Amino acid sequence: MVKKAIFLILILVAGLISCSDDQQLLKRNNIDPFTSDLDSIRQRGRLIAVTDINSTNYFVYKGEPMGFHYELLKAFTDHLGVDLELIAEDHLENALDLLKSCNADILAIGLTVNSARKTEILFSDPIIQTRQVLVQRKPFYWRSITSDALNRLLIRNQLDLAGKTIFVQENSSHYERLMSLSAEIGENIEIVEVAWKAEELIRNVANGEIDYAVCDENVARVNSTYYTEIDVGTPVSFPQNIAWGLRKESSQTLLNELNSWISSYKKSRSFALVYAKYFRNSRSNNIVKNDYYSLNTGKISRWDDLIKSASNDIGWDWRLLASLIYQESRFKPDVQSRAGAYGLMQVMPLTAKKLGINIKASPVSNIKAGTMYIDWLQSVYEPLIADEKERMKFVLASYNAGPGHILDAMKLAEKNGKDPHIWDENVEVWMLKKSDPVYYNDIVVKSGYFRGTESVNFVAEVLERYEHYKNLIPEDWSQRLTMNSGNNF
């Protein structure tokens, strides 16, 4: 009986944990395996979500992370009071594996709800609805004919798909829909599954590489604003729900919270504005054609070449330096703060004087001054903090506040039993306390009062944006293959 009881307990625990020992988030974050998904997310302080890189869901424009699912995820994590950790994954099977192996909490990649997928994952309430549409090319003289004449030349009746070759994204719901449609009309439709994303399918129709494709209407209509030669007016399905996906095991509390939030948020003006921004925006064409729409060009700003060169001098990833510069100046070369900091890197005049550089001479000189200061800060912390990633946080904080205040916070942390070599939840805590006279008057403090909130936020925001840049922009653009995608699956 004892052995049987132990066996049943082991089965119960395995069912509750559900994920492999070496990959589970619970173990990685030292969280009780009996804790619900929602509670474990709150304990670790972040929601881990998977989304895909495309022109509507997740991209960078003029240095700023954007996207429909990205903004919704940010709104949901704000509601939960946790941070967002985003994993970019364009392949559905890989995304599902991340979810099932407990390396992610939510799949936010525009999943079409169907019965087959319901056997694998839990679906949230619908985020939006869309239809599947045929993407076809208008005749080259379409501008010179009437709408009625154009409609007679295009496929408008689904029966006319008989015998046609139609391309769809592999592992998408579009293949299943066309198979059903073929059976419904009693004629063969040649369906070709390819590894292309929706935007690539649409582009290849527009360029004449293929004649027909099927994509989701919301994505197809956005793309039709900059491929005016395509037509997306023929539906091939009824309206379908697009939702987020969760693990089947141990996700009920998270699902309930998510559905409650979706119900409330979809009634809000914020949701209406976000939806219109990505699916009804007349500026979509200008965004996609802009040099700083990173999915097409890999560019963050007009200063990328200068940033890449300067980052080599200090041993930084250029995308990290770009994130810092965006934080300081939004890439504006002539901006000046009330305190007198100037230019792309907001270098203080006294710092520039010590470095012997005219920070107003040119963007080149301003970046040179900023990176020389960073190099000096690195020399300050190299003897103190062995871990390179951890040291980076202290350098960033010092770039914002000056090293004196950070060294004070390190001393306060050590005096009060915290690790002075760890930023998160250690030195940052004492940085925030430097505005309290109890602490800034402490004998170990040399630089006095400081309002540390800005510096703590500075570190967090620069590093968060850097993670987005790493997700969306290859370190070397020549390595990029097919990041410019866009689809619901």
SS (H, E, C) 40-51: HHHHHCEEEEEE
| Contact indicator for 198, 486 with CB cutoff of 8 Å | yes
Fold classification of 304-472 is Lysozyme (1.10.530)
Phi, psi at residue 51, to the nearest 5°? -140, 170
DSSP assignment letter at 128: E
What pLDDT shows up at residue 480? 52
Fold classification of 2-128+242-287 is D-Maltodextrin-Binding Protein; domain 2 (3.40.190)
CATH 1.10.530.10-classified regions of the chain = 304-472
- How crowded is residue 419: how many other Cβ atoms within 10 Å of its Cβ? 13
Residue 35 pLDDT class (50, 70, 90 cuts): low
DSSP assignment letter at 424: I
Highest mean pLDDT among 295-304, 406-415, 465-474: 406-415
CATH 3.40.190.10-classified regions of the chain = 2-128+242-287, 132-238
Of 77-86, 139-148, 272-281, 339-348, the range with the lowest mean pLDDT is 272-281
| Contact indicator for 363, 377 with CB cutoff of 8 Å | no
303 has pLDDT over 50: yes
Q: Quickly tell me which residue has 């944006």 as its tokens.
A: 465
Residue 474 pLDDT class (50, 70, 90 cuts): confident
32 has pLDDT over 80: no
Residue 26 pLDDT class (50, 70, 90 cuts): very low
The better pLDDT of the pair 34, 312 is held by: 312
Average pLDDT along the chain:
88
52 has pLDDT over 60: yes
291 has pLDDT over 60: yes
Of the CATH numbers 3.40.190.10, 3.40.605.10, 3.40.640.10, 3.20.20.70, which one belongs to the domain with range 132-238?
A: 3.40.190.10
What pLDDT shows up at residue 380? 97
What pLDDT shows up at residue 211? 97
DSSP assignment letter at 157: S
Q: Rounded CA gap, 417 and 397, in Å?
A: 21
What pLDDT shows up at residue 488? 58
| Contact indicator for 358, 352 with CB cutoff of 8 Å | yes
pLDDT tens column, 413-467: 999 999 999 999 999 999 999 999 999 999 999 999 999 999 999 999 999 999 9
Q: In this structure, which long-range contacts are made by residues 387-393, counting pairs with CB atoms below 8 Å and at least 24 apart in sequence?
A: 387/421, 390/421, 390/422, 390/423, 392/320, 392/463, 393/423, 393/424, 393/459, 393/463
What pLDDT shows up at residue 295? 75
What pLDDT shows up at residue 486? 44
8 has pLDDT over 60: no
What pLDDT shows up at residue 170? 86
Q: Rounded CA gap, 120 and 247, in Å?
A: 8
Residue 1 pLDDT class (50, 70, 90 cuts): very low
- The tokens describing 10, both together, are 């082991």
- The tokens describing 431, both together, are 């940085």
What pLDDT shows up at residue 110? 82
pLDDT tens column, 84-122: 999 999 888 899 999 999 999 999 988 889 888 888 999
Q: Rounded CA gap, 219 and 205, in Å?
A: 15
Highest mean pLDDT among 192-201, 288-297, 311-320: 311-320
267 has pLDDT over 80: yes
| Contact indicator for 231, 147 with CB cutoff of 8 Å | no
Residue 143 pLDDT class (50, 70, 90 cuts): very high
| Contact indicator for 472, 480 with CB cutoff of 8 Å | no
What pLDDT shows up at residue 151? 93
In the predicted model, what is the mean pLDDT of residues 281-298? 73
Q: Pick the closest to residue 195 from 314, 329, 91 (CA basis).
A: 91
